[in-house]
Every structure is written in C-alpha cells, then in structure tokens.
Chains A and B, each alone.
Chain A
C-alpha cells in the first residue's frame, strides 16, 4: 500500500528525530506503534499521540520532551494545509512536507546545548583532535571559556565511573561455584535418570552504592555548576536498578537532590536543583550538614556498604571539633570515604584550613577535582579500590 508507505516513512523520520534528541527508541517499539496505528483513527491527533507515547516512551521524565517533539513534528505538518485534512485521506495527511529546512529549524529551536547548526557541529568534531582534548583535560575548571566548558561536558558524559563491587549473599547459577545447585542438577538428571552433570551456585557480585555530598557554598561557586553536571552524567550511568546513587548538596544546610538529577537534560536538572537548593553560594556549615546526614540519612541509605564522596574545599564555619566527630561517625559507618578538593590541584596548596585539618584524619583518600584529568584519576582510584 502506497499510503502505509508514507506513514512508515513518517514514523521512521519521527523516530530519528527522537533519537537525535536523546530518547532511546528501538525498532521494535516503532513496529509496535505502526501496528497500533492500524487500529486507530489517524485523524485524531490525541489518539496518535497517546499511541506514540504508550509504545515509545517508558520513563516519566521523557514525556514532556516527547510531547514537545511530537507537537513540533506533526503539528507543523498538520497545520501546513489544514483544508486538505477534510478532503484527503490518510496518505495526504501523513505526507511528509518539505522537511529539510524545517528540521534544521527544529534542531535549533529545541536543543538548548547545541546552538550551532549541524554542519558546524561536524566541524567541531574534526577539530577536536587528540592534542586539543589533552590540553583541555588539564585546564582548570575555573579557567574554562564557555565553549571549552561545553567540550568538557561532552567529555564528562563519556567518562565511566564504576564503583567497586561487593559480594552479596544472593546466589546465582554458575559452573564453578562452591555450592551445589541441587534443583537444577536434579531436573537435568531426571532427563537421563542419572546424575551426569552437576550444576553449582555462587555468590553474586553487586555494585556498591555511591553517595555524593557536594559543597555548593560561595567558595565553591566556580566549580559547583560543572560538578553538578558531572553528578548528572554519573546518574545517567546508573542503569541497573540494583545500584543506588544518592546525591546531596550542602552549604548551610543539607538538600537531597537525587530525584532532581533524574531529568534527562542536565540544564533542566541543574535549574530544578537551584530552585530547590536555598543556600546556593552562601556560607558553609559542614559539621551541621554532616550531622544532619548522619542522623537522618545514614541509616536509610545502606551506608555501611557505600562509597561516599565529599566534594568540598574544606572551608567551614562550624567548630572543627564537631566536624571531626561527625566525620569520624561517617567514616566509621561507610565502606570508603573519599574527599575531593578542587584546591588540591594547585601545586602550593596545603590543607591548612581548620575544617580540612579536622577532616583529614577521617578520610581514606584525598584527591583533587580541579580539571578533567582529575576526574579520570578518580575513575582510576575507583578501579583500584579493592573489590568485595
């Protein structure tokens, strides 16, 4: 059928657009949508929209983006010649309009990050040679120009940070485990009425939870945006449901931001966070915030298995003695405590601030976080932590 050909072509174009915007659309999902549309009234935009949402989207966070893209893609083509809707049948309705220029404008309109048009983007990619990125990687976050910041953000998304594993008590089938899997062996034996092959079980490994406490006080202002971006890209990596990733910001008070980071676009997420966080670029009351964390959250998050990162420059208005106490408690209860300090990047920095002094004895690793190379070093440090 020629008409269905138009429809399919249109769907595929739509899917390509969705994928370009970062939604994960499989061919199977698209097939489902095509099958579903057969049963629907294609003239009813709401019906088509709902079918599309049902079959293509499986995360609540993606719905607004989908709605937006759907509207721009179909509404534009609908509203081109509204009179034809009445007279013509499906084929006309779904016929792709002159797309090229339209799509280009769509691209610019919708993506907040890539203001450049596609042609220029490819140019950037070509320029993005090894030496450039190496130089960028060692440039301090505080000295980046805005275009360099964009590059660093791209690099961040490619950086994989894998927390160490722990051995869980749950068993999984395995060929060389220590425990006999009688159930499987028995079922297999029944086939031949003899135990020919024995199956085993062994402990399953799980990723340790990762908990991040990020300082967003005034002294950290030049770093905090980029670091929040980094948290967002980390959150995006957490794919298996089993792994826990929790993040908090602190200045004068502790705010949980894990759920805000779930938004697809980092800029949306960071906007949502800055709406919620009331103590942005203010003072630092680290001891009080840690106390709050220890009391309210440490028991709820399965802290004893978790890897905890504190990102802060260590300037604190609270009593250093209290900080020392709270750090000791946190350190005692978690698996490993890593402190990331952006100031550590400069050669002549000495951790002399009273807060930093008090905290130093209670941390497992003290690492810089002033440029991209230091994030890579962090990934390496994660890798080196003993598994299990």
Chain B
C-alpha cells in the first residue's frame, strides 16, 4: 500500500502555495492563499463566501489539480437530503438478494446483516469523500451551500468535525485521512453558526487592479496590454458605482473574450455599448451604465467619444 500523503506538510509556506496556484493559472490574493494554506495545515474545512463570479469554485478545482487529488463535488439545492448526499441502500440488489436466499434456512438476523452490509451501500459524495484513493484523500467541494436548506447543514456537522459518518445499519465510517473540504456560499442566506464555527471563514472580495490585470493576461493571452489595462480600469470603476450586480472576475473574462471576438483594439463607447451584455446582467444596470458611459470611460483614462 502506498504511504498516505499528508497535505499538511505539502507546502512549506504560503508563498510556495501561491506560486503553485499561479502555475495552474489561478492568481490568488495573499489572504486567500493564507486561508487555503491554513486549511490544509490544520485539516479544517474552509468556508468561502463572496459575490458570484469571484472564483470560489475555481480555487477548489485548481487545488485538486495541484494536490493531484480526486475532486468530489456536491452541488447543493433545496431539499438535498442524506439519500443523495450521504448514502443510499441499493434496494433493487437487496431485493434480488432476498429472493436468492431461502428464507427458512437462514437466521433472519444473519440475513439482515448480509443485506445491510457495505456491498449494498451506494456511496454518495459525502461518504465517498471519506475514502482515500492510493493514499490520497480527496478534495470535497460543497458548492453553494446557501442553496440547500437549513436541515441539510445538520448532516454536515458530524462529518466536518470528526470526519465520520454514522450509518445506523453498519456503524460509523471514519476517514483514515481527513479530506480537504471547501464549502462555498453566495450568501443568499446566512449559514448556521454551528457550521461556521467548524470552518475557517474567508470572504473573497473583488481583486485589486494589479491582480485582475494579471488574471486577464493569464487567462486571455491574446489580449493586448493596453486593452487589458483599459478593461480592468473600466470594470474596477463599474464596481465603484451603485449597481445592482457588479461584474465579477468571471464577467470581465467573458467581456475580454467578447471584445477579442469583436476584434476590438481599444475601448470606445460604441464597442462598449455593444458588448455590455456580457458584463452586466440587469437591464437597469446596463441602462445606467450607458447613461454614464462617457464619465466612466473618462475616469478609466480612456478616449472620449469626441476624440475617437
């Protein structure tokens, strides 16, 4: 058997983790890197909150990549229950098994034990996450926990504090190596304090100008330096405005690709007006931005309509 890999000793310091993340094209703010580093070091779950499109899910994907660990993803939704998140019995097989056995020859207790054994257990994501593969614990992503209802959070409590799951018919299943758990939330409702207590909490904010510029250059290499700078300046200015939904990093990436596809060399009012739909997703916001377009372009140090 391969020796179990402990993630806690994998990275020497935060800088090392940060540069590893950069290698797989994730430019992390220092604070986020510290949060991830500590979560790995102390085997604590990490609760990431932030506006949609700031890279919450993405960090988990790249983390699995650099840890070379399997990624198990649980997308939350209202009504998510333990049958689809934890485990379920394979009833069809159990019934077949019952038919195959002669009911009179066997002790009923023995029969029950046979049927409720690991062989008939369907493992759902949370249970899968307790198993290590080739000595490596998986990375478990519990995505958009705020979409699940409060009842579901209760299932997580035991799992996250003791890395174990109790199944009445079998007993307790415990992880040999604790998995790396990241929970994300868009904050459409507040997560219960009992759950928060068990996690490291980090709020991912919109990136700074420099970070966002790096991200853009990294992800959309065809972008010219000048255009990238203008895009970032424009988006950063938009976030300062009073919009219903400010554009996230995902939107600015989309927008850069849209601008590339439109063969734009620089930002001007007409091209911005045409492609605004990839940046802003509310009609009110789009109208407001159109009205203030010249102001924002000017503030972002860009040519005005008259000069184009």
Contacts and interface: CB of A to CB of B under 8 A. Distances in A.
Interface in B65-115: 77-79, 81, 83, 88-89, 91, 94-95, 98, 103, 108, 111-112, 115
B244 A302 contact: no
B227 to A, nearest CB: 31
Interface string A185-202: 010001001000000000
A170 B284 CA distance: 35
Q: Say what secondary structure dominates the interface of chain A.
A: mixed
A361 B164 CA distance: 54
Interface in A298-337: 299-302, 325, 329
Nearest to A191: B108
Interface string B236-249: 00000010100000
A183 B89 contact: yes
B98 A295 contact: no
A183 B244 contact: no
Contacts, number: 50
Interface stretch (B173-181, B185-193, B254-262, B263-271): B185-193
B103 A186 contact: no
A168 B83 contact: no
A71 to B, nearest CB: 30
A169 interface: yes
A242 interface: yes
A325 B95 CA distance: 60
Given A183-B83, A300-B187, A168 B103 contact: no
B187 A190 contact: no
A241 interface: yes
A300 B190 contact: yes
A241 B77 CA distance: 19
A300 B189 contact: yes
A290 to B, nearest CB: 13
A170 B89 CA distance: 19
A186 B91 contact: yes
Given A186-B89, A186-B94, A300-B188, A193 B79 contact: no
B158 interface: no
B242 A169 contact: no
Contacts of A183: 83, 88-89, 91
B252 to A, nearest CB: 21
What interface size band does chain A fall in? 10 to 19
Contacts of B112: 190
B149 interface: yes
A193 B190 contact: no
A186 B97 CA distance: 13
A295 B244 contact: yes
A182 B98 CA distance: 15
A169 B150 CA distance: 12
B188 A169 contact: no
A171 B81 contact: yes
A299 B150 contact: no
B190 A169 contact: no
A237 interface: no
Contacts of B108: 190, 193
Contacts of B284: 325, 329
A300 B49 CA distance: 12
B78 A299 contact: no
Nearest to B189: A302
A294 interface: yes
A193 B151 contact: no
Contact of A301 (B91, B103, B189): B189
Contacts of B95: 186
A294 B188 contact: no
B188 A171 contact: no
Interface string B284-296: 1000000000000
Contacts of A301: 189
Contacts of B81: 170-171
B208 to A, nearest CB: 23
A53 to B, nearest CB: 21
Interface string A211-252: 000000000000000000000000000000110000000000
Nearest to B150: A242
A182 B91 contact: yes
Contacts of A300: 187-190
A334 B109 CA distance: 54
Contact of A302 (B77, B91, B188): B188
14 contacts: A168-B79, A169-B77, A169-B78, A169-B79, A169-B149, A170-B81, A170-B149, A182-B89, A183-B88, A183-B89, A183-B91, A190-B98, A193-B98, A325-B284
Interface of A: 168-171, 182-183, 186, 190, 193, 241-242, 294-295, 299-302, 325, 329
Instruction: Report, nearest first, the 6 A-B pairs whose CB atoms are least far apart.
Output: A169-B79, A169-B78, A170-B79, A182-B91, A302-B189, A193-B103
